[in-house]
């Protein structure tokens, strides 16, 4: 994706960046600051709170991964919830999820201050404000620079923590259970330990940060699920073992009041240089968390502004492809929280909003799957649906209930503020109804048909995967030309006639299916605008394409998803319901070439020229096997017998107007049309014989 001038975010984050973003967002306060607060409430049993919280986060992680691969757009949880549950809930979710990230980042700044005072005698809050300003500038510079910094920070943190755990676990083993501070284990009862699970759940809030940057991930289909899963496992192991060492070697009376517990534990088990490296690692972890937090939270105001829920200036993208207004307002909010709240209050409030957000995310998966919107086609699907989502919702409700009235009250106030803002400002600025209306079909006139089109466009942003045969789709396409005065109904009728023969459905039913789907993308162009209607069919396994050319232009009415725009070509894409994600990715690849190569398509004189214009670095040739022609000698031979130059392939054989797949055993007949594609440098000029070197008998 381009950046800056075209108003799009830069798609530059690889798997390593996803892992670093998620891990860096989690491995900070939860390990370097929170163990003392947790042990003060649950004693040594606080150790168990971390793996339990990690396990309880799995349903939400699976749901976030599914939604992120279906809708890889900036805004993360807000975007999912707004599209699933509607603008009203989306506004509340947007404010709530943004605030949860702000609170978690503020909590990290508190921990950073606690470790900084070990190095310099300075006012920690003043220094925190300076650091927030620094991270604000880094995130304005660009997401790739930010993510690269994140990666190096995480590598350093993991290396130092590995050294600490080796020394700490050996010391814990040498002391034994009786000789350490682990006995008695349940000093305050098991009930207190389960209450602490809700408190430490904020440690896993970094899971949603990846989703908010999904629009900038190179391959969200694989990078997001794998990156999140790896980071959750790594973070849970580090939390559990790190807290075990701290509880075992630090006396309870010291640990319960300590805001730098891992440093205190390191002094007891490591040489002095190791203890100081722990301080540096802690500072790097907090810096990583704040950096990732600002990067993620800044996308929420931008996404809400895109949808008309906030003023348009919050939706602008700067010259470096970053949401400047979102970065600034997020940084200011973090500074306010640091100045106004203490560590425990911030942790409770942040956990409450993290749990609320993840509970709603699980609900969003239930709604979107039940809506049966054709273009909801996640590359990763949460297993054990819907049980996974119901468990996730119950987890959120149970843990929020244990956080106390302050957390409940704050959640209620923010929810009321969000709902009021939507009623007073956003109502009328957005026309979406949410996928939940598609579930309750009794609200027929309120069903938002535009959601299918929007989800199609989001899904197309994944890019092609190894099994997506874009070249074959174009090479096998039928190309039609229609005269001036033809309307879209007649164009669709002609395209449907071709598709009907291939799909095995009546022509009228094929046309109806395109209208029912309502998914049509328009690619504007000064000299050759195009449109791509998309429909999914149960009766086919392969994607099919019919290109309808209209040099005089065709108007796209509202019934077809337009608003009177005129286009010079229509690309009717018939996808398969068995793999809708592949069909939408192919449509996205087609749209990307039409965005920049529409003029070449418009100037093409022949069917082969049209297809060559849509296949970069390849040329398409078509050869009629006439009995009196120069390729007549190929008649009667199997495709497997034809020896082509390297890189040249048979795309299809057209026989009596029907396109046949190029199976190796297919025998060529008289009057067949052979469609071949290959690199430009080895393909013969138009009019010359097919590039068959000899027959392999």
Instruction: Please state the domain extents for the chain.
Output: 11-424, 463-612, 618-695
Sign of CA dihedral 439, 442, 446, 450: positive
pLDDT at 598: 65
DSSP 171-208: HHHHHHHHHSTTSSS-SS-HHHHHHHHHHHGGGGTTHH
pLDDT at 8: 46
Residue 544 φ then ψ, to 5° = -125, 150
Mean pLDDT of the chain: 79
Calpha distance 397→452 (Å, rounded): 31
657 three-class SS? coil
**What is the chain's percent helix, strand, coil content, to nearest 5?**
60, 10, 25
CB contact set of 502 (below 8 Å; sequence gap of 6+): 540, 544, 574, 658, 659
Instruction: Give the largest CA-CA distance in the chain.
Output: 99
CB contact set of 66 (below 8 Å; sequence gap of 6+): 365, 378, 380, 381, 382
> Would you say residue 644 has pLDDT above 70?
yes
Calpha distance 611→243 (Å, rounded): 61
Tokens of residue 520, six digits: 């049509």
Calpha distance 217→21 (Å, rounded): 11
> Would you say residue 219 has pLDDT above 70?
no
Using a 10 angstrom Cβ sphere, with 0-12 exposed, 13-18 middle and 19 or more buried, the burial of residue 457 is: middle
pTM of the full structure: 0.67
pLDDT at 590: 80
Q: Sorting pLDDT into bands at 50, 70 and 90, what band is 466? A: low
> Would you say residue 445 has pLDDT above 60?
no
CB contact set of 659 (below 8 Å; sequence gap of 6+): 476, 478, 502, 652, 653
pLDDT at 667: 92
> What's 3's DSSP letter?
-
Calpha distance 649→643 (Å, rounded): 10
- Tell how strand 642-643 and strand 694-695 pair up: antiparallel
pLDDT at 4: 42
Calpha distance 113→125 (Å, rounded): 7
Average pLDDT value for residue range 262-285: 89
For the ranges 194-198, 209-213, 386-390, the one whose mean pLDDT is highest: 386-390
DSSP 535-586: EEESS-SS-EEEEEEEEEEEEE-GGGT-SSEEEEEEEEEEEETTSHHHHHHH
Angle between helix axes 46-56 and 190-200 (nearest 10 degrees) is 50
Q: What CATH class is the domain 463-612?
A: alpha beta
> Would you say residue 599 has pLDDT above 90?
no
State which H helix or E strand residue 530 sits in: strand 530-537
Segment 3-49, tens digit of pLDDT: 444 444 445 567 777 777 777 767 777 888 888 888 888 888 889 99
Average pLDDT value for residue range 58-84: 76
Q: Sorting pLDDT into bands at 50, 70 and 90, what band is 444? A: very low
CB contact set of 324 (below 8 Å; sequence gap of 6+): 140, 316, 317, 318
pLDDT at 244: 92
Q: Which residues pair with 255 in a beta bridge?
A: none
> Would you say residue 303 has pLDDT above 50?
yes
Average pLDDT value for residue range 533-551: 86
> Would you say residue 545 has pLDDT above 60?
yes
Tokens of residue 6, six digits: 């075209």
> Would you say residue 233 has pLDDT above 80?
yes
pLDDT at 484: 82
Using a 10 angstrom Cβ sphere, with 0-12 exposed, 13-18 middle and 19 or more buried, the burial of residue 628 is: exposed
Average pLDDT value for residue range 344-358: 84
**Nearest alpha carbon to residue 36 among 265, 283, 368, 349:** 265
- Third-level CATH fold of 11-424: Amino acid/polyamine transporter I (1.20.1740)
Segment 238-269, tens digit of pLDDT: 999 999 999 998 888 888 888 889 999 999 89
Calpha distance 255→268 (Å, rounded): 12
Separation of CA 255 from chain center: 40
**Nearest alpha carbon to residue 7 among 319, 455, 301:** 319
Calpha distance 525→530 (Å, rounded): 8
Cβ(633)–Cβ(588) below 8 Å: no
- Third-level CATH fold of 618-695: Alpha-Beta Plaits (3.30.70)
Count CB atoms within 10 A of the CB of residue 178: 7
Calpha distance 330→295 (Å, rounded): 9
């Amino acid at each position: 994706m381009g950046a800056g001038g075209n108003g799009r975010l830069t798609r530059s984050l690889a798997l390593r960046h996803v892992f670093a973003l998620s891990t860096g967002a989690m491995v900070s306060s939860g390990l370097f600051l929170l163990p003392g607060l947790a042990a003060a409430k649950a004693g040594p049993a606080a150790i168990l709170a971390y793996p339990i919280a990690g396990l309880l986060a799995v349903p939400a992680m699976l749901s976030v991964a599914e939604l992120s691969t279906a809708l890889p757009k900036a805004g993360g949880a807000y975007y999912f919830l707004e599209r699933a549950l509607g603008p009203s809930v989306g506004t509340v979710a947007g404010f709530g999820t943004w605030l949860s990230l702000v609170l978690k980042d503020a909590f990290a700044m508190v921990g950073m201050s606690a470790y900084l005072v070990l190095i310099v005698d300075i006012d920690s809050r003043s220094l925190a404000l300076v650091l927030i300003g620094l991270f604000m500038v880094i995130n304005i510079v660009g997401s790739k620079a930010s993510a690269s910094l994140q990666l190096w920070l995480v590598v350093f943190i993991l290396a130092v923590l590995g050294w600490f755990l080796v020394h700490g676990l050996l010391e814990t083993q040498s002391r034994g259970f009786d000789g350490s501070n682990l006995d008695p284990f349940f000093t305050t009862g098991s009930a207190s330990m389960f209450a602490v699970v809700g408190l430490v759940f904020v440690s896993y809030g970094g899971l949603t940060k990846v989703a908010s940057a999904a629009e900038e991930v190179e391959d969200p289909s694989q990078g997001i699920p794998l990156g999140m899963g790896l980071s959750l496992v790594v973070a849970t192991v580090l939390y559990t073992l790190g807290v075990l060492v701290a509880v075992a070697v630090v006396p309870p009376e010291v640990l319960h009041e300590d805001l730098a517990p891992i440093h205190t534990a390191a002094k007891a088990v490591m040489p002095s240089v190791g203890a100081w490296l722990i301080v540096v690692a802690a500072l790097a972890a907090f810096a990583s968390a704040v950096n990732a937090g600002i990067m993620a939270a800044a996308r929420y105001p931008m996404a809400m502004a895109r949808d008309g829920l906030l003023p348009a200036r919050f939706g602008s993208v700067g010259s470096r492809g970053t949401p400047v207004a979102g970065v600034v307002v997020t940084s200011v909010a973090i500074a306010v929280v640091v100045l106004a709240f203490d560590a425990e209050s911030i942790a409770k409030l942040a956990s409450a909003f993290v749990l609320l957000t993840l509970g709603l995310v699980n609900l969003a998966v239930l709604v979107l799957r039940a809506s049966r919107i054709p273009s909801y086609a996640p590359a990763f699907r949460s297993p054990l649906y819907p049980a996974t989502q119901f468990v996730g919702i119950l987890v959120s409700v149970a843990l929020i209930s244990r956080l106390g009235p302050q957390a409940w009250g704050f959640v209620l106030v923010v929810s009321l503020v969000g709902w009021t803002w939507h009623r007073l400002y956003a109502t009328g600025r957005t026309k979406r109804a949410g996928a939940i209306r598609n579930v309750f079909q009794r609200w027929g006139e309120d069903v938002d048909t535009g959601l299918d089109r929007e989800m199609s466009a989001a899904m197309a942003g994944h890019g092609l995967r190894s099994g997506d045969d874009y070249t074959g789709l174009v090479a096998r396409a039928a190309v039609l030309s229609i005269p001036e005065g033809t309307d879209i109904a007649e164009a669709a009728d002609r395209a449907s006639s071709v598709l009907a023969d291939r799909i095995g459905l009546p022509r009228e039913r094929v046309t109806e299916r395109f209208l029912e789907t309502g998914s049509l993308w328009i690619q504007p162009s000064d000299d050759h605008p195009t449109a791509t209607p998309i429909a999914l069919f149960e009766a086919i396994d392969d994607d099919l394409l019919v290109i309808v050319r209209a040099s005089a232009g065709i108007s796209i009415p509202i019934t077809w998803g337009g608003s009177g725009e005129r286009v010079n070509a229509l690309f009717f894409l018939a996808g398969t319901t068995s793999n809708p994600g592949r069909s939408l990715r192919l449509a996205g690849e087609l749209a990307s070439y039409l965005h920049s190569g529409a003029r070449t398509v418009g100037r093409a004189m022949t069917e082969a020229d049209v297809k060559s214009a849509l296949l970069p670095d390849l040329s398409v040739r078509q050869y009629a096997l006439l009995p009196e022609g120069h390729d007549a000698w190929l008649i009667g031979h199997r495709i497997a017998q034809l020896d082509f130059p390297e890189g040249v392939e048979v795309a299809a054989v057209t026989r009596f107007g029907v396109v046949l797949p190029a199976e190796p055993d297919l025998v060529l007949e008289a009057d067949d049309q052979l469609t071949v594609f290959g690199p430009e440098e080895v393909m013969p000029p138009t009019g010359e014989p097919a590039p068959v070197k000899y027959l392999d008998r």
